[in-house]
Amino acid sequence: MLLPLLALVQVITSAPPVYDGRQGQLAIRVPRVAAPVPLDAPLDAFVPAIASGRGAPRHHVLHAPGTAGFDDVYDNFFPQASSQWDSLGHVGYGPDAFYNGATGDDVANGRRNTVEHWARHGIAGRGVVLDLVRTMADAGRPYEIGTSATFGVDDLERARERAGVEFRPGDILLLHTGFAAWYMAQAPGERYRVARAMSTPGIASGEEMCRYLWDAHVAAVACDTFAVEAFPPAFGEPPPGGFLHRMLIGQFGMALGELWWLEDLAADCAEDGVAEVFLVSAPLHAPGGIGSPPNAVAIK
Amino acid sequence: MLLPLLALVQVITSAPPVYDGRQGQLAIRVPRVAAPVPLDAPLDAFVPAIASGRGAPRHHVLHAPGTAGFDDVYDNFFPQASSQWDSLGHVGYGPDAFYNGATGDDVANGRRNTVEHWARHGIAGRGVVLDLVRTMADAGRPYEIGTSATFGVDDLERARERAGVEFRPGDILLLHTGFAAWYMAQAPGERYRVARAMSTPGIASGEEMCRYLWDAHVAAVACDTFAVEAFPPAFGEPPPGGFLHRMLIGQFGMALGELWWLEDLAADCAEDGVAEVFLVSAPLHAPGGIGSPPNAVAIK
Amino acid sequence: MLLPLLALVQVITSAPPVYDGRQGQLAIRVPRVAAPVPLDAPLDAFVPAIASGRGAPRHHVLHAPGTAGFDDVYDNFFPQASSQWDSLGHVGYGPDAFYNGATGDDVANGRRNTVEHWARHGIAGRGVVLDLVRTMADAGRPYEIGTSATFGVDDLERARERAGVEFRPGDILLLHTGFAAWYMAQAPGERYRVARAMSTPGIASGEEMCRYLWDAHVAAVACDTFAVEAFPPAFGEPPPGGFLHRMLIGQFGMALGELWWLEDLAADCAEDGVAEVFLVSAPLHAPGGIGSPPNAVAIK
Amino acid sequence: MLLPLLALVQVITSAPPVYDGRQGQLAIRVPRVAAPVPLDAPLDAFVPAIASGRGAPRHHVLHAPGTAGFDDVYDNFFPQASSQWDSLGHVGYGPDAFYNGATGDDVANGRRNTVEHWARHGIAGRGVVLDLVRTMADAGRPYEIGTSATFGVDDLERARERAGVEFRPGDILLLHTGFAAWYMAQAPGERYRVARAMSTPGIASGEEMCRYLWDAHVAAVACDTFAVEAFPPAFGEPPPGGFLHRMLIGQFGMALGELWWLEDLAADCAEDGVAEVFLVSAPLHAPGGIGSPPNAVAIK
């Protein structure tokens, strides 16, 4: 296969980026050649799907015996059954109150807030890895992954400091909780229990968290857990508490990513001490799409 | 939406890359900030599908009236109905003779050559845009797009020279023929005629072309037409003539991309005279997958 | 399997029905025990589908290894890809002019003319087999099945006389042309040729045929060919010529059945000389359905 | 619509059948004309599906605007999500021990025990309605439908006596518990509770019930509840207790039908005091099928 040749001639890699002073110019010094780190789990990684109603796609390989060709097709492909971006049409602040004034009808008919709007631009920017697994272990506060373990602002701050980074506007936060890997490693019986209970770790809801994320002006929060926020939330509580999606998507217009595969990236960051990456993501160009696989790689 | 903040803080952009001399190091100077250029056409762009048996996906948006949430699911999703990568399992040199010794059974059961092997690595490298539309027009040799117009080695060379680039091992060639945009702009009647006839432009088959691409050691050839090679080929002719996929995929292990959206990128290259890009692609992490959307962006 | 016990205790079978004279009463004498004759071809019998855009369903058998249970699911299930009833929403007299005043919107939203209206009643009545294969052979006028061979009123009359039946209001005509069996027996290459050309035998269009069927007051015309009428019709001709579906469905509200399996029934009728049957059909109870498998048996 | 003409000329109806004494002959006297009573609930009647993993089909109506034609297609069509027959491949006596010596591989590959074997014969025979709703009410022993209310042999006997019928070999029992109608009438919240708990009424498991059904030599037991047997069973108990499907399907080869629509038929039987019917069912001619809609009507 010829693609390995790419590994020898990486155009761009980076150690901590060095700003070279000229206005609008940024030089990226490359101390080593590295391969991109993919961040999508397999399409069928989460079986059973944690959200009822979703499931792994049904894949048909098409082949006429005796010929030299194959084709394929997918049915029952839920973009949110595995690693995903939530579009701005996935959750609103309230019924008929979606981000930036879009109505339920706008979303249902793919006029506004759906995923193709991101696909037409692509996503490329600075990713910052906050490794909650290692941070909480170092702090002597390990947590049980198959529960609604909750990370507050102070925990995120601890992780940010451990990562040695400052937030910049437009950052994409990558939160490593360990959930995806843990879920995939459980026996079917335990996975069914977790799926039924939908108890998964994540960040806290409430005003403090909302202010923290807004003030950082992060463009997106992606993670390897089910819902970004600890789940299940207190659905009945009013915002800015309760279901945090209503604020982050419905009010802030943040891109939320869930069930990403962050084990390899987190291990790499632990090894070289570098927690910032060039994050590139090309969501499916899906008209009217509500979710999409991230189709994301981290380059560092 | 906060993602526009990304546009202000592009980590990496490039004018012609400047090699700064140190072994293994590459500094990328950034004269301007640019957004990534997405290269995927919409999932439903090619209706009718040019290959019979494929078609646009059927998309269901799921929503309980009166609630603030949407989800979605796709059926009949053919990864090769729109912009695509062909995996190394799509076409073999012969029945049961797939790239690198894989058998038909290896492919059918997703053991070898299928698309997840690329997804686990990601694709990031140097892309080179060969604009056949502008090249042939400049050379006084325009062609009719809805036909099997054929580009030989000399045409590719002419385009390479016009682009001002030398090939490097591992390059990803991006061939702009104008077909995708042309097809999408036709009235349904004309599109049905073309789909039935399957007459589409592309590169020539034969030994000269095979040697040219092999000697350049390109890792991949992606294009905006149906089949990379002019279609239909002379299926009965033996390799290295006849159906070029048998050589490029089945023997060389090249990644072939088809029906990509290259209009915006080609226009951008025409404007600034820069034909090389940083090409990032994250194929779907689809176990046993035969094809995938490119999920590709060009960064320059 | 216990169902064979049913064969020993058939509640109702019939030789030519004997009317016993009392008003509203019908005695059915049973000289022999017979099994029902199913009239549905397999769901995947017609590959490629003769109408482009349709195809055989994709069937997934679901099974956890080591367990004693199986389940299954179908994707890409086109009710009109194999044996079918056309609902009264399938074809209108004109755009927005469907049977009995229904609009396109009525059909699209499943309010009127869709198949569940038949399912809620069931179909049970007198079926009359007109065997055009044997009739035309006897008359020294055999026809080529893979063509648009056309049967006029005189041919139907000849078949009716040969069958020894008089039409009664509410009859379900069962026209045996031999097409389904012929198509299923062809090599793939010939089937692709026929599917592309869509040349299939059937009844003539025009005023004479319309009057003939209307005067007979038949409730339904089912057949083993693609379109009931010879195909392709002269689409541009105005009714009552041209596309006969516009008259039979759009104006008369007849139930048209296509691609039924009639070989066994026709052979049975040839053997015992009895061409009338008790026809029972339970279309799928499919809200908003445009077509349905016949789910039909003939009992005689 | 012309099908109503069928109502005027019903070929066969029956009051209690009168045997006219000649060997092998059965005269059916018809005191009145009646329409068939369909027994299939709508495809989307049970939402959420009671068995996790199943769900209502996704229906696409296909229509080019401005034309006079519609077509349609179904994805995610689970034959066991609504009214159904279980084929003899649905449940085995044990892993790899399916009815009549069939292996799991036989079933998985559609060689034995799958539904097309029934479709090729059709099902037509004597149906006997046992109305447990009215029987238990009359006996002063009403039951709560949304629970695992269990009917023993004595309850079935009470219902048989109330129906005034004797079983005959080959009979198809039709058990009316009221569950389907009850489920469809519940608010979504209650339906989700029942679906999660899977607590549904049905017959008892154990040796007494097995002997009773075997000695009656019934060919099939169809019902309007989820599983024929009270659910959930004591899965860990060995046969003939525990999961009754293992005996009835896996050992006896009985056809089990579930979630049929029996309200109309039960009401009709209550009104005229006639509990036997001519039951006709045409399962889908689905190669390798594990389940099928019943496509059933009762004629009386």
pLDDT, chain C, mean:
88
Residue B245, H or E segment: helix B245-248
Please indicate whether residue D185 or residue C13 has the higher confidence score (pLDDT).
D185
pLDDT tens digits for range B214-237:
999 999 999 999 999 999 999 999
Nearest CA in chain B to A106: B70
Q: Which chains touch B (3 or more CB pairs under 8 A)?
A: A, C, D
Chain B interface test: which of D60, D62, D63, D67 (most B C-beta within 10 Å): D60
Residue numbers in B near D73 (CB within 8 A) = 58, 76
| C52/B52 CB distance under 8 A | yes
pLDDT tens digits for range B24-44:
333 333 333 447 899 999 999
Nearest CA in chain C to D121: C38
Please state, in angstroms and rounded to a whole number, the distance separating the CA atoms of residues B208 and B214. 10
Check if the beta carbon of residue B294 is closer than 8 Å to that of residue A49.
no
Confidence (pLDDT) at B39: 98
Joined together, the tokens standing for residue B124 give 């990031």
The type of residue at D277 is: V
Nearest CA in chain D to C51: D71
Confidence (pLDDT) at B257: 98
| A52/D52 CB distance under 8 A | yes
First to last CA, chain A: 24
The type of residue at B167 is: F
Joined together, the tokens standing for residue A139 give 């702090």
Strand partners, A229: A203
Question: In chain B, what percentage of residues exceed pLDDT 70?
Answer: 88
The type of residue at C126 is: R
The type of residue at A39 is: L
**Binding-site residues on chain B for chain D (CB distance < 8 A):** 58, 60, 73, 75-76
Phi, psi of B226 (to 5 degrees): -70, -40
The segments of chain A whose pLDDT lies below 50 read 1, 4-34
Q: Which of B10, B90, B123 is closest, CB to CB, to A70? A: B90
| A36/B122 CB distance under 8 A | yes
Residue numbers in C near D68 (CB within 8 A) = 91-98, 246, 250
Give the position of tokens 């609009």: C103
Strand segments, DSSP code E, in A78-200 are: 84-86, 123-131, 150-151, 172-176
Joined together, the tokens standing for residue C261 give 């399996």
Q: Given pLDDT bands bounded at 50, 70 and 90, which one contains residue C213?
A: very high
Nearest CA in chain D to B58: D60
**B168-194 CB burial, b ≥16 within 10 A, e <16:** bebbbbbbbbbbbbbbbeeeeeebeeb
pLDDT tens digits for range C16-43:
333 333 333 333 333 334 479 999 999 9
Distance from B76 to chain C by nearest Cα, in Å?
7
Q: Which of C41, C69, C219 is closest, CB to CB, to D285? A: C41
pLDDT, chain D, mean:
88
What is the reported pTM? 0.89
Check if the beta carbon of residue C49 is closer than 8 Å to that of residue C41.
no
Q: Given pLDDT bands bounded at 50, 70 and 90, which one contains residue C53?
A: confident
Confidence (pLDDT) at C97: 96
Nearest CA in chain A to B40: A285
| B70/A107 CB distance under 8 A | yes
Nearest CA in chain D to B73: D58
Check if the beta carbon of residue D69 is closer than 8 Å to that of residue C91.
yes
Going by DSSP bridges, is the β-strand pair B255-258/B84-86 parallel, antiparallel, or unpaired?
antiparallel
Chain D interface test: which of A50, A52, A74, A77 (most D C-beta within 10 Å): A52
Q: How many helices (H) and strands (E) does chain B have?
A: 9, 13
Cα separations in angstroms, B61 against A287, C93, D42, D246: 11, 32, 22, 39
Residue numbers in B near D57 (CB within 8 A) = none
Other CB atoms within 10 A of residue A4 CB: 12
Phi, psi of B268 (to 5 degrees): -65, -40
Strand segments, DSSP code E, in A89-186 are: 123-131, 150-151, 172-176
Please indicate whether residue D222 or residue B193 has the higher confidence score (pLDDT).
D222
Q: Which of D74, D108, D118 is closest, CB to CB, to C61? A: D108
Please indicate whether residue D233 or residue C190 has the higher confidence score (pLDDT).
D233
Please indicate whether residue A96 or residue B19 has the higher confidence score (pLDDT).
A96
Q: Which of A43, A108, A124 is closest, CB to CB, to B284? A: A43
pLDDT tens digits for range C39-52:
999 999 999 998 87
| B30/A27 CB distance under 8 A | yes
Confidence (pLDDT) at B2: 52
Q: Which of D52, D76, D196 is closest, CB to CB, to A76? A: D76
Give me the sign of the Cα torsion angle C209, C213, C216, C217.
Answer: negative
Residue numbers in B near A51 (CB within 8 A) = 71
Give CA D63 to chain center in angstroms: 35
Confidence (pLDDT) at C155: 98
pLDDT tens digits for range B281-300:
999 999 999 999 999 999 88
pLDDT, chain B, mean:
88
| C52/B53 CB distance under 8 A | no
Chain D interface test: which of B44, B47, B58, B191 (most D C-beta within 10 Å): B58
Q: Which of A6, A33, A70 is closest, CB to CB, to B290? A: A70
Residue numbers in D near C16 (CB within 8 A) = none
Torsion of CA D162, D164, D166, D167, to 10 degrees: -60
| D58/B73 CB distance under 8 A | yes
Residue D134, H or E segment: helix D132-138
Chain C interface test: which of B47, B50, B52 (most C C-beta within 10 Å): B52
Check if the beta carbon of residue C292 is closer than 8 Å to that of residue C284.
yes
Other CB atoms within 10 A of residue C166 CB: 11
pLDDT tens digits for range D41-92:
999 999 999 887 898 899 999 999 999 999 999 999 999 999 999 999 999 9
Distance from A57 to chain D by nearest Cα, in Å?
11
Check if the beta carbon of residue A278 is closer than 8 Å to that of residue A12.
yes
| B58/D76 CB distance under 8 A | no
Residue numbers in B near A17 (CB within 8 A) = 11
Confidence (pLDDT) at A2: 53
Strand partners, D91: C69
Check if the beta carbon of residue B288 is closer than 8 Å to that of residue B109.
yes
SS (H, E, C) B24-74: CCCEECCCCCCCCEECCCCCCCCCCCCCCCCCCCEEEEECCCCCCECEEEE
pLDDT tens digits for range D258-298:
999 999 999 999 999 999 999 999 999 999 999 999 999 99
Give me the sign of the Cα torsion angle C244, C247, C250, C253.
Answer: negative
Residue numbers in A near D76 (CB within 8 A) = 75-76
Distance from D294 to chain A by nearest Cα, in Å?
25
Q: Given pLDDT bands bounded at 50, 70 and 90, which one contains residue C196?
A: confident
Confidence (pLDDT) at B300: 81
pLDDT tens digits for range D89-135:
999 999 999 999 999 999 999 999 999 999 998 998 899 999 999 99
Please state, in angstroms and rounded to a whole number, the distance separating the CA atoms of residues A155 and A173. 14
The mean per-residue pLDDT over the stretch D144-157 comes to: 96
Please state, in angstroms and rounded to a whole number, the distance separating the CA atoms of residues D238 and D118. 29
**Binding-site residues on chain A for chain C (CB distance < 8 A):** 58, 60, 73, 75-76
| C58/A76 CB distance under 8 A | no
Distance from C265 to chain A by nearest Cα, in Å?
33
Residue numbers in D near C15 (CB within 8 A) = none
Phi, psi of A210 (to 5 degrees): -60, -45
B1 pLDDT higher than 80: no
| A252/B70 CB distance under 8 A | no
Closest CA to B214 of D300, A2, C183, A88: A2
Q: Helix, strand, or coil here: C149?
A: coil
Closest CA to B90 of B101, B78, B99, B82: B99
Q: Which chains touch A (3 or more CB pairs under 8 A)?
A: B, C, D
Confidence (pLDDT) at D10: 32
Distance from D28 to chain C by nearest Cα, in Å?
5
Q: Which chains touch C (3 or more CB pairs under 8 A)?
A: A, B, D
Please state, in angstroms and rounded to a whole number, the distance separating the CA atoms of residues B162 and B154. 12
Helices (H), chain C: 5-8, 104-108, 116-119, 132-138, 153-163, 179-185, 188-197, 207-216, 245-248, 263-272
D32 pLDDT higher than 80: no
Cα separations in angstroms, C13 against C164, C265, D24, D125, D213: 19, 15, 11, 11, 27
D15 pLDDT higher than 70: no
Please state, in angstroms and rounded to a whole number, the distance separating the CA atoms of residues D248 and D257. 12
| A73/C60 CB distance under 8 A | no
Please state, in angstroms and rounded to a whole number, the distance separating the CA atoms of residues B168 and B165. 9
Q: Given pLDDT bands bounded at 50, 70 and 90, which one contains residue C2?
A: low
Burial class (CB in 10 A: 0-12, 13-18, 19+), A268: middle
| C220/D2 CB distance under 8 A | yes
Residue numbers in D near A76 (CB within 8 A) = 75-76
pLDDT tens digits for range A198-238:
999 999 999 999 999 999 999 999 999 999 999 999 999 99
Check if the beta carbon of residue B220 is closer than 8 Å to that of residue B172.
yes
